[in-house]
A and B are shown apart, each in its own frame.
Chain A
Amino acid sequence: MTLLNPVFQLESSWKALPPDWPGGFFWHWLVFTVIILAFVLSVVMAFIWLERRGLGRIQARLGPNRVGPFGLLQPVADAVKVLLKEDIVPFDADKIVHWLAPVVAFTPVMMMFAVIPFQNGALLADLNIGILYFVAISSISTVGIFMAGWGSSNKYSLLSAMRDVASVVSYEIPVVLATAGVVLLAGSLSLNQIVLAQNIPFILLQPLGFLLFFIGACAEINRAPFDLLEADSELTAGFHTEYSGMKFALFYLVEYAEALAVSAIIATLFLGGWRGPFLPPWLWFLIKIFAVFFVIFWIRGTVPRVRIDQLMALAWKFLLPLALLNLLITAIEVLIWPGTLPWLLIFVNIAIMIVLVLLWSRFFKLGWGKVEV
């Protein structure tokens, strides 16, 4: 990334420059596609290693430590193993759908990274509707997962796919509403400009929005405690039960690439993206991504899996009303203080978050304590 500095480093610009490389947009597209592919694959491997080691330590185990120093090459060994395995297609499977499903699930996940800025202007496409593009693209991989569940002709796969569709449809709404609060504050849908607008990281100005976005995003990418579609005690492996070899590897890659995309988006929207003192921007961005991912697998190591009715209840009874209220409060604040919000609002917003969460947890018990989170 530092190599690209002279091209993209702008002094005090609000807008990123269009690429003025020889060859124009083609070179820009080629270079950034290669960078994104390499970035995603290598960080996904780092994530897999980090999660297995970290979860191991949380459970007083060691985690993988045989392949390479500290087991660092374990994801590589797994990838090689999975590539060499036989590709098994069930006899009753819908062959075309079964074959297409990993591709349909994988492609949009890679497309998500097109709008994520690595530093000022260093992104594949500085869309002025960046976050909308992200929201739209990110739900397409659900189609791939549903195709996998349908095409496998396995009742557990189908159940798992239905659960995934249910959770994504439910959690999309609070996630988008929480995003809308950030967009209101930044005054732009472009991710690069959202980062540029964060003189105070939006996690401080939007603590409730961050909480809602984090919970909703964890549910959308099916991380524990919302990993109902891979509940191995109920559904063997869920939608990828009938997959092996390269297709299984693609689904595994999708799972972690989605976690990476969500970490990157949370870092961009709420943690100030690539902005930070002293260190180079891309390093700040990586640090923030890994910090968010640490929290994600930390929660996975802590919280037990929820039931499907609890999953739905959390989305519709807790997250959705709070997201609407958050949007309303943010809109009022932006209306009163146009331009930049005073920093005193940080404490006000944190107080609002605590009060609202307590209040809604109270409401949740209204069904005679039968419905709880």
Chain B
Amino acid sequence: MKFERYGLGIAKGLAITFSYLFRRPITVQYPEQRLNTSRRIRGNELVWSREKCTGCATCAKACPIGAIDIVTAPNLVNNRYAVEKYQVDTGYCIQCGLCVEACPFAALFMGYDYERAKYRRNELVQNKEDMMLESGEKHTSGYFYPELAAKLPRQTLLIDRITEDRTTEGK
């Protein structure tokens, strides 16, 4: 005689749901709490370093889409060209990362920020001020730079207690 069929099964189920009442909810309250992405994420934006960039335009040549538009000063100062315009139409960008791999001076990175939705198409065109590493608002992902990936925060799993808050904490 299996007592599960005579009411004990329902009692067991009720006991389980009652114990779940006191379990920690796993909901991520998104705008306030954010999960850390994986360290291996490539990311879908470009981060450009003004200090390291020499204006050689290798990235623009490597881009299969031709989304990178770079204009530099004609004269060489301190063995580098001053970059006058560095503009990427991220609407065209396919996030292939070839520009990052091509950069001979490690001045270009992918970034892991993901809230990049825009209301207008022309807002997708980013100038160099929009993606400057030195602005402090851009976060480089570990793509093509494993030593950067090792320094990124560990990925948050849903079973972990969510404490990270990327909007306020240092990255």
The answer to whether A298 and B25 touch (CB under 8 A), given A60-B20, A357-B6, A372-B5, is no
Assess the A60–B7 pair: CB atoms within 8 A.
no
Closest chain B CB from A297 CB (angstroms): 10
Inter-subunit contact A57/B20 (CB<8 Å) = yes
Distance of A301 Cα from B21 Cα, bound (Å): 10
Question: How far, in angstroms, from A61 to B25 measured CA to CA in the complex?
Answer: 5
- Enumerate chain A residues within 8 angstroms of B17, measured Cβ to Cβ: 58, 298, 301-302
Docked pose: A303 CA to B11 CA in angstroms: 10
**Is A302 a contact partner of B6 (Cβ separation < 8 A)?**
no
Contact of B71 with A by CB under 8 A: no
Is B106 interfacial (CB 8 A cutoff)? no
Whether A59 sits at the interface, judged by CB under 8 Å, is: yes
State whether B6 touches A299 (Cβ < 8 A). Answer: no
B5, B13, B23: the one within 8 Å of A361 (CB): B5
Find the B residue at minimum CB distance from A57.
Answer: B21
Tell me, in angstroms, the Cα distance from A357 to B3 when the chains sit together.
11
Binary flags per residue of B11-29, CB closer than 8 Å to A gives 1, else 0? 0011011101111111101
Partner of A358, one of B6, B23, B25, B27: B6
A298 in contact with B5 (CB, 8 Å) = no
Is the Cβ of B27 less than 8 Å from the Cβ of A62? yes
Is A68 part of the binding interface, using a Cβ–Cβ cutoff of 8 Å? no
A219 to chain B, nearest CB (A): 15
Look across to chain B and name the residue whose beta carbon is closest to the beta carbon of A361.
B6
Q: Report the nearest B residue to A359, measured CB to CB.
A: B6
Does B148 lie at the interface of the complex (its beta carbon under 8 Å from any beta carbon of A)?
A: no
B76 contacts partner chain A, Cβ-Cβ < 8 Å: no
Interface string of B95-106 (1 = CB under 8 A from A): 000000000000
B14–A299 CB distance below 8 A = yes
Chain A residues near B16: list those with CB within 8 A: 302
Q: Is the CB of A357 within 8 A of B10?
A: no
Nearest CB of A to B66, in Å: 45
Residues of chain A within 8 A of B21, CB atoms compared: 54, 57-58
What is the number of residues of chain B that contact chain A, defined by CB distance less than 8 Å? Answer: 18
Q: How far is the CB of A214 from chain B (nearest CB, A)?
A: 12
Please state if A303 and B6 are interface contacts (CB–CB under 8 Å): no
In the bound complex, residues from chain B placing their C-beta under 8 Å from that of A361 are 5-7
Q: Give the shortest distance, in Å, between A5 (CB) and chain B (any CB).
A: 36
**Residue contact A298 to B10, C-beta cutoff 8 Å:** no
B13, B18, B20: the one within 8 Å of A303 (CB): B13
Q: Mark B29-48, 1 if CB is under 8 A from A, else 0.
A: 10000000000000000000
Instruction: Give the CA-CA distance A302 to B11 in the complex, in Å.
Output: 10
Residues of B within 8 A of A358 (CB): 6
- Chain B residues near A321 (CB-CB < 8 A): none
What residues of B have a CB within 8 angstroms of the CB of A301 in the complex?
A: 17
A residues 65-115 touching B (CB-CB < 8 Å): none
How many angstroms from the CA of A298 to the CA of B20 in the assembled complex?
A: 11
List, in ascending order, chain B residues with CB within 8 A of A56's CB. 25
CB distance from B20 to the nearest CB of A (A): 5
Q: Are B13 and A60 in contact (CB under 8 A)?
A: no
Q: Which residues of A contact B26 (CB under 8 A)?
A: 60-61
List residues of chain B with CB within 8 A of the CB of A59.
Answer: 20
Beta-carbon contact of B14 and A298 below 8 Å? yes
A127 to B6, CA, bound (A): 40
Q: Among B7, B14, B21, find the residue whose CB has the most chain A CB atoms closer than 10 A.
A: B21
A59 to B10, CA, bound (A): 17
Complex alpha-carbon distance, A322 and B27, angstroms: 44
Closest to A295 in B: B14
Given contacts A357-B7, A372-B5, contact A62 B14 (CB under 8 A): no
Cβ contact within 8 Å between B14 and A61: no
Q: Which of B10, B13, B25 contacts A62 (CB 8 A)?
A: B25
Q: Can you give 6 A-B contacts (C-beta < 8 A)?
A: A58-B20, A58-B21, A298-B17, A357-B6, A358-B6, A372-B5
* Beyond known contacts A302-B14, A361-B7, A362-B6: 18 more, CB 8 A cutoff: A57-B22, A57-B25, A58-B17, A58-B21, A60-B20, A60-B23, A60-B25, A60-B26, A62-B27, A298-B14, A302-B10, A302-B13, A303-B13, A358-B6, A361-B5, A361-B6, A365-B5, A372-B5
List of 7 A-B pairs having minimum Cβ-Cβ separation, nearest first: A361-B6, A302-B17, A302-B13, A62-B27, A62-B25, A58-B17, A57-B21
